[in-house]
Amino acid sequence: MQKFLIRLAINAVALYAALTIMEGNGVTLVNNTWLNIFILAFIFGVINATLKPLMMVLGCPFLILTLGLGTLLINTALFALAGWIGNLFQVGFAVSGFWPAFLGALIVSVVSFLLGLMFKPEKNRSK
């Protein structure tokens, strides 16, 4: 449960950073409160946990041809999808094109990677 809450908080901070940076540059927020950001982070986490592995397997030949850069396109699609689904619940954001979604997904990826390194749970070394 603790790992889930840490991951949710990391996603929330990463989404908040991306939405704050991209606000007015192709991304329009519906509601910018922390509760809505956490709900959006939960939606984003569920989408990443369910659809991303499926898209990675189905797009494996494309990922091999692009030497893994196709993962950025998958992240872009999932970022835009999270905003669209969030809009259905009045907590999301609207993306006006490919490049804003691409930059937003890139910001989320970098911030969540860095925060994941900082808050990585230490392994139990007792023998």
Other CB atoms within 10 Å distance of the CB of residue 5 = 9
Q: Is the pLDDT of residue 125 over 60?
A: no
Confidence of residue 106 (pLDDT cuts 50, 70, 90): very high
SS3 string, 27-72, reads EEECCCCHHHHHHHHHHHHHHHHHHHHHHHHHCHHHHHHCCCCHHH
Mean pLDDT, rounded, of the chain: 88
Enter the tokens of residue 17: 């950073």
Confidence of residue 127 (pLDDT cuts 50, 70, 90): low
Please check whether residue 21 is in contact with residue 105, taking contact to mean a CB–CB distance below 8 angstroms: no
Q: Is the pLDDT of residue 76 over 90?
A: yes
pTM as predicted: 0.86
Please check whether residue 8 is in contact with residue 49, taking contact to mean a CB–CB distance below 8 angstroms: no
Residue from 34, 18, 25 nearest 83 by CA: 18
Question: How do residues 53-71 score in pLDDT, each as one tens digit?
Answer: 999 999 999 999 998 899 9
Separation of alpha carbons 48 and 93, rounded Å: 17
Other CB atoms within 10 Å distance of the CB of residue 15 = 27
Please check whether residue 56 is in contact with residue 30, taking contact to mean a CB–CB distance below 8 angstroms: no
Rounded average pLDDT over 2-27: 89
